[in-house]
Structure 1
Amino acid sequence: MDMLVRRDRRRRIAALLTGAVGVLALLSAVLPPLRDRLETLIGLTPFLVPATAAGVTALAGCTLLVVARGLRRGSRLAWAAALVLLVVLTLLHLVKGIDWEEAVITAGVGAYLVTQRRAFPVLPSRAAAVRAVALSIGGALVAVFVAAAITVSFGGHRHHHYFGETAREAAGRLVGVDEARRVGVPAGVVPGLGPASSRVLPVVGVGLVCSALWLLFAPRRAPKLSRHDHERERERARHVVERWGGDTLAYFALRDDKDWFFTGSSVVAHSVRGDVCLVSPDPVGPPAEREAAWSDFREYAERNGWTVLVIGASETWLPVYERNGMRGVYLGDEAVLDCSAFTLQGGHMKSLRQAYNRVGRAGVTYSFHSPASLTPQLRAEMSALSVQSRRGEAERGFSMTLSRLADPADPDLLLTLAHQAVEGGSSRLVGFIQWVPAADVDGWSLDVMRRSTEEDLPSGIVDAMIIATAEHVRDAGQKGLGLNFAVLRTVVSGEQEGRVPEIARQVLTRLGSHSQMESLWRFNAKYDPAWRARFVVVDDLAQLATDGLAMARAEGLTGELPLISAIPRLGEQLQGVGTALLERLPGRTREDERDDDEDDDGGAAPGAAPTR
């Protein structure tokens, strides 16, 4: 474990130093050399040598910036490329102007890298190598063909008589080889293109090299399993979750878009998005295996060049992550309702009591099912209601949703169905909640809830379903219900005091997300729940922005990020993480909240559970 932390620290240092040397090379190339040193150098070599060395130095500096990314990912190929470039740069600094200061710094960074070989174990995959070669060859052929075609078409009589010869001259300039002198034109000029070619073609060549290196240094892609193998792995993970998965988020490890890493008796559910490996929930397995399981997974991620981001981490796992060199960032709180102590009595429960009674008077009753016992008709009604009430064309979420609705493959779920009696003695489905098992709270954890959007329905159906479920759980001898997640609850509620939380509240207000988050927090708070803090855990705080973007994509929130809104069509305005999480409160609007205070207490309708 300590070795993993040390290797990661060395990679971070190596990437920073290499990037700094790259920037230094660019600055040194564009700044004029010291006069006395240049005069000494010109006395020893032709003037063309330092001038050419300065240009090559700039190109090498640009390439080093790309290589630095590979070093941060632990690429062995990036390590080798960096050593070669640093050696070349050391010589170039001396040749272009006897810049011994830059040469010493560059050589020192190279010496450091020589001693850190073991910190770079990631090798490029065969697919990445094929893509890099295809890009290099294909791009070079296109560039040479275009340059030669322009030369022949617009070069007058200055081009070669044979297209092949002109193409060879263009290829030479692409890789920095000057052969144009042989046709009686100025040095560095491809016949027919003019002096611009000596600038454009080398830049295109460097661009192709950097692009190929970018592909080679990219982390490995996650292995793709067939549908059959993926389902088999999921069922294997299900056995682990059933045995050890007590956390309110543990069952969400079985989402269809996740992969599973097995070690010992534990499993780590994850999904690779680009170069970020998203882990959610915390690893599931025996408590005695926590350190070993996480260490094994970190080594697996390191071999593939992935950075690791844990979403929704619990406080009990934070020490394990921190001992691996990771940092936890507060994300919000999960509301957990104690059904054995929950009551509707008291003035602070007035809004819930009114909602429950109002829905009961409208003839709404509740039933509880397992997905395995649902009739095809009920399952079809749930699917139709879900499509009707959800926001957007597809379900969103990653860390706190299951991705399957009333699937017979999940027989241990609990479904709360709300039906309203209609004329003719029949009934219609007006709402449902899907719960996943959560042994740690001796009960269930909220997955998804939906209510009909028909205008003739009373407000408060979601609240009424939760209250009915709480009573059902209590009558069954169980205790807890995991409710919604309140993003940045302690910040939004004002529980955190100080300058930083105050600034955060002002920023959220300006971005339009404070009211969304506050609405979600207040929806939870009226149940008087216990709060469980959840965290995002990152490898490096410097990568929080890029890792956070990967998390937002997974949760389906990229259209609501403020910084992305500056890019056309990627987002209009931050609605906040709370907007998407409010999707778990379908149909509940500010009008609903006003209605809660407009109705007086009333008796429950026949068939509805009595108030408490």
Structure 2
Amino acid sequence: TYLLIRPLVPMAVAGITLLAGIILIISGTLPSSSSRLGLLRDIVPMPIIEISHLLGSIVGILLIVIARGLYRKLSRAWVAAMFLMVLGLAASLLKGLDWEEAVGMGLAITLLIIFRSAFYRTDSVSVFRLDTKWLFTCAALLAAIFWVGLFAYSNVEYQDTLWWQFAFDADVSRSLRASFVISVIFLGIGLHSILNKRGAIKQNQVISNTVRDIIAQSPSTEAQLDLLGDKSFLVSEDNIAYLAYCDTGGSLITRGEPIGDETSGKNLMWQLRELADRSGKRCAFYAVSSKYMETYLDLGLSILKIGETARVSLKGFTLDGPKKKSFRYAHNKAARDGYEFSVVKKADVPKILPELRGISDAWMKSKQGEEKAFSLGYFDETYLVNFDHAVLRHSDTGGIVAFANLFQGANQHELSLDLMRYDPTGPKIAMDALFGAMMLWGAEQGFQWFSLGAAPFSGIENRELSSLWNRIGGFIYNHGENVYHFEGLRSFKQKFDPTWTPNYLASPGGLAAPKILYEVNSLVSGGVRGLLR
């Protein structure tokens, strides 16, 4: 029975805590019972009554704030609630013998003790930090309570001296002081929440030899993006699988699916889901295939199609055919103009890094863009020395005009690239020439596939009876050319007659999916501004 009701406990306790806070503030705003105050007059000194009255109101606003933490099952919120409930119980009795409030506090304390195990999550963020929605909700709630107080004392003419009246029957003065203190505390909490807004946790991870070994043994080139060092890793106990993820502050988001052994990978997916739950965060798997579809559903996640990945078979690959005309032209013209293609082994890459840096900086400046991350690589020496590089250079001067780092899957299963940049002052055909030469080289080396990467929102069915997500995704794909060349990117890749496979996002359902996608965009581009650049 306990296991059945346990999921409902945080919601119920949060509601009770919120109600207790509201009652304490209303009680501090409205006139006290004169008969009960009369009983306290000869027992409790007036300063104690004044302090208890103010303390009750302070406890009330703090209980309202930490109710959100209890709803999120935070352990520290439970500790804070216990402390505040005890103070609230004492304040209720000392400020006016409000035994009904005290009994309610006592029952709430009993519930907190009984269901202590339901509040198990740990989070480094303060329990007094609120999100925007909760801030506005609390502000509206307090405004309504203050209006009730103003209505209750509408027959009393305001005077400055009211602030300094201390007497057993000075209800108006106590209400004014309590309202002021509550407002100051709430303003402080609001500023604290805004100034300490939760953001992505920067990683800068040291990549273990175990992870490097698993990547080297993976036939998929996608795994090699994890050498960026911008992600955290969950590694299986048997050291034959890992899962790379980023912590955005509100979510743990993977880039792709587990790498390595499938059974160990499934266990890692559950570990990440449990880690996210303990931390009070969402869990999502971004840009994944259908391989672990059953596990995503078992994890309680929803599946959304976010695009397609293009792969070209390199068996018998050539640049022949009308669709590849521009690449064939660039390949031949580059040869006539004295440019040659070569692959620089990763051991020799440090020697050409200064030249590559100059090309990369000039390319970035010409595009007026910014480096990406997470699912895309960026120019970083410690990252690039992990790979062989394809370069296009002039045979006479030896100067490099274009380069790309090569992703090479195990057993020559797949070839791909990450960074591909060219000198803006060099030949205009440099990019197409390098691209075509890489694919021809891959075919000569015996690679089975060449991955062209993803085409966002491609292949999403946009029909009248499609889901809302499909209709939104289809609209963005068809009408988002001014922001990002969605359709143009797919058309470019279609020239190679690739095999398209779907890409998915596995995330909590409802409004969580748009939040996850926004957080992914922040990881990749730094927000909406970065996407536009």
Write the deviation string for residues 312-367 of structure 1: whole angstroms up to 9, x where unpaired: 22221232232122233222222111111433333333343344344444333211
Which of 373, 378, 398 aligns to 2:374? It is 398
Q: 1:30 to 1:189 in 2, by over 3 A?
A: closer
Alignment of structure 1 residues 237-256 onto 2, 5 Å: 237-243=211-217, 245-256=218-229
1:419 aligns with 2:404: no
CA shift, 1:525, in A, is: 1.5
- In structure 1, how many angstroms separate the alpha carbons of the residues matched to 2:211 and 2:359? 30
Secondary structure in structure 1 of the residue aligned to 2:208? helix
Between 1:544-553 and 1:430-439, the stretch displaced more is: 544-553
What's the counterpart of residue 416 of structure 2? 445
Write the deviation string for residues 119-149 of structure 1: whole angstroms up to 9, x where unpaired: 4323466x969x9xxxxxxxxxxxxxxxxxx
What's the counterpart of residue 138 of structure 1? none
What's the counterpart of residue 77 of structure 1? 76
1:467 aligns with 2:447: no
CA shift, 1:558, in A, is: 0.7
Q: 1:392 to 1:180 in 2, by over 3 A?
A: farther
Write the deviation string for residues 77-115 of structure 1: whole angstroms up to 9, x where unpaired: 22354577789999999x99x9x9xx99x9999998776
CA shift, 1:428, in A, is: 2.3
Residue type matched to 1:289 in 2?
S
Normalising by structure 2, report the TM-score: 0.71
Secondary structure in structure 1 of the residue aligned to 2:259? coil
1:330 aligns with 2:300: no
Q: 1:58 to 1:282 in 2, by over 3 A?
A: farther
Between 1:473-482 and 1:197-206, the stretch displaced more is: 197-206
Whether the aligned pair in 2 keeps the contact of 1:220 and 1:305 (CA below 8 Å) is no
Residue type matched to 1:122 in 2?
R
Write the deviation string for residues 16-62 of structure 1: whole angstroms up to 9, x where unpaired: 55666678789989999xxxxx99x9697679x9xx99999997776
What's the counterpart of residue 489 of structure 1? 458
Whether the aligned pair in 2 keeps the contact of 1:220 and 1:304 (CA below 8 Å) is no
Secondary structure in structure 2 of the residue aligned to 1:399? coil
Alignment of structure 1 residues 311-390 onto 2, 5 Å: 311-374=286-349, 376=351, 378-390=352-364
Secondary structure in structure 2 of the residue aligned to 1:79? helix
Number of equivalent positions = 482
Residue type matched to 2:504 in 1?
F
Q: 1:543 to 1:446 in 2, by over 3 A?
A: same
Unaligned 5+ runs, structure 2: 41-50, 130-159
1:181 aligns with 2:157: no
Whether the aligned pair in 1 keeps the contact of 2:54 and 2:177 (CA below 8 Å) is no
Whether the aligned pair in 1 keeps the contact of 2:200 and 2:249 (CA below 8 Å) is no
- In structure 2, how many angstroms separate the alpha carbons of the residues matched to 1:495 and 1:405? 46
Residue type matched to 2:415 in 1?
W
CA shift, 1:285, in A, is: 2.8
Residue type matched to 2:438 in 1?
T
Q: 1:215 to 1:351 in 2, by over 3 A?
A: closer
- In structure 2, how many angstroms separate the alpha carbons of the residues matched to 1:92 and 1:220? 41
What's the counterpart of residue 526 of structure 1? 495
- In structure 2, how many angstroms separate the alpha carbons of the residues matched to 1:523 and 1:249? 20
Which of 497, 519, 522 aligns to 1:550? It is 519
What's the counterpart of residue 121 of structure 2? 122
CA shift, 1:259, in A, is: 2.3
1:262 aligns with 2:242: no
- In structure 1, how many angstroms separate the alpha carbons of the residues matched to 2:265 and 2:74? 28
Whether the aligned pair in 2 keeps the contact of 1:385 and 1:452 (CA below 8 Å) is yes
CA shift, 1:431, in A, is: 0.8
* Aligned-CA RMSD value: 5.3
Which of 204, 222, 246 aligns to 1:271? It is 246
What's the counterpart of residue 202 of structure 1? 182
Unaligned 5+ runs, structure 1: 1-5, 33-37, 132-157, 160-177, 562-573, 580-612
- In structure 2, how many angstroms separate the alpha carbons of the residues matched to 1:91 and 1:458? 79
Whether the aligned pair in 2 keeps the contact of 1:179 and 1:188 (CA below 8 Å) is no
Q: 1:238 to 1:336 in 2, by over 3 A?
A: same
Alignment of structure 1 residues 155-234 onto 2, 5 Å: 181=166, 198-208=178-188, 230-231=205-206, 233-234=207-208
Residue type matched to 1:248 in 2?
T
- In structure 2, how many angstroms separate the alpha carbons of the residues matched to 1:527 and 1:508? 21
Identity, in percent, stands at: 18
- In structure 2, how many angstroms separate the alpha carbons of the residues matched to 1:88 and 1:478? 71
Normalising by structure 1, report the TM-score: 0.63
Residue type matched to 1:451 in 2?
Y
What's the counterpart of residue 404 of structure 2? 433
Q: 1:458 to 1:204 in 2, by over 3 A?
A: same
Q: 1:62 to 1:205 in 2, by over 3 A?
A: closer
Residue type matched to 1:121 in 2?
Y
Write the deviation string for residues 209-267 of structure 1: whole angstroms up to 9, x where unpaired: 78889999989978x88xxxx53x43332122223x33331122222222222221222
CA shift, 1:477, in A, is: 1.6
- In structure 2, how many angstroms separate the alpha carbons of the residues matched to 1:542 and 1:498? 18
Q: 1:426 to 1:372 in 2, by over 3 A?
A: same
